[in-house]
């Protein structure tokens, strides 16, 4: 029996729409609607008028639990699971409450993913897979397999990784690679 290729899939910014969530939280707390375009090309969380606001949100209980699902993510992961081993790989150690919240979020939105296929870590360089889909170049730069950088405001100007703007584009890239 042929073994399946492995895909490591990031959570925040790939399965979960952190950009729109930061914008919504900023509006709800500060009453200012920051246009998405204001975030493009800036380090994550630095496009908001109130310095440190996004980091403060990430430390607030409920932030990770209430992230919206990225459009097309559930359908794409469901389809990919037919032909690949899928592992959700998320850096969950920096923000203490994120670990249980991310687990609960996955149970709600991706209940078909086994606990055996969820990896919460601090450093993704230890991950061994054939593909990694992530929004942070720092996680992709040292990855030994094929990288797909999922579009996010903070990586808009990064060009040294194969890019996907949507889950449909991820699916097309993976299909063309086989």
Residues tagged active-site: 10, 12
Do 138 and 154 form a contact (C-beta atoms < 8 A)?
no
Helix, strand, or coil here: 97?
A: coil
Distances (CA, A) of 174 to 37, 76, 84, 143: 29, 11, 10, 17
Helix, strand, or coil here: 52?
A: coil
Q: How far is residue 170's CA from residue 151's CA, in Å, rounded to a whole number?
A: 11
């Amino acid at each position: 029996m042929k073994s399946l290729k492995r895909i490591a899939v990031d959570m925040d910014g790939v399965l979960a729409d952190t950009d729109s969530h930061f914008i919504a939280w900023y509006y709800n707390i500060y009453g200012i609607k920051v246009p998405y375009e204001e975030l493009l090309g800036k380090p994550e969380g630095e496009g908001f008028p109130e310095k440190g606001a996004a980091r403060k949100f990430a430390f607030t209980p409920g932030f990770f639990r209430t992230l919206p699902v990225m459009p097309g993510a559930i359908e794409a992961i469901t389809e990919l699971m037919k032909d690949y081993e899928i592992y959700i790989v998320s850096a969950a150690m920096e923000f203490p409450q994120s670990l249980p919240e991310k687990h609960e979020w996955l149970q709600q939105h991706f209940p078909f993913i086994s606990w055996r296929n969820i990896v919460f870590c601090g450093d993704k360089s230890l991950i061994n897979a054939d593909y990694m889909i992530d929004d942070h170049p720092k996680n992709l730069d040292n990855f030994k397999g094929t990288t797909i950088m999922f579009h996010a405001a903070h990586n808009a100007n990064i060009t040294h990784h194969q890019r996907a703007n949507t889950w449909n584009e991820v699916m097309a890239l993976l299909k063309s690679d086989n």
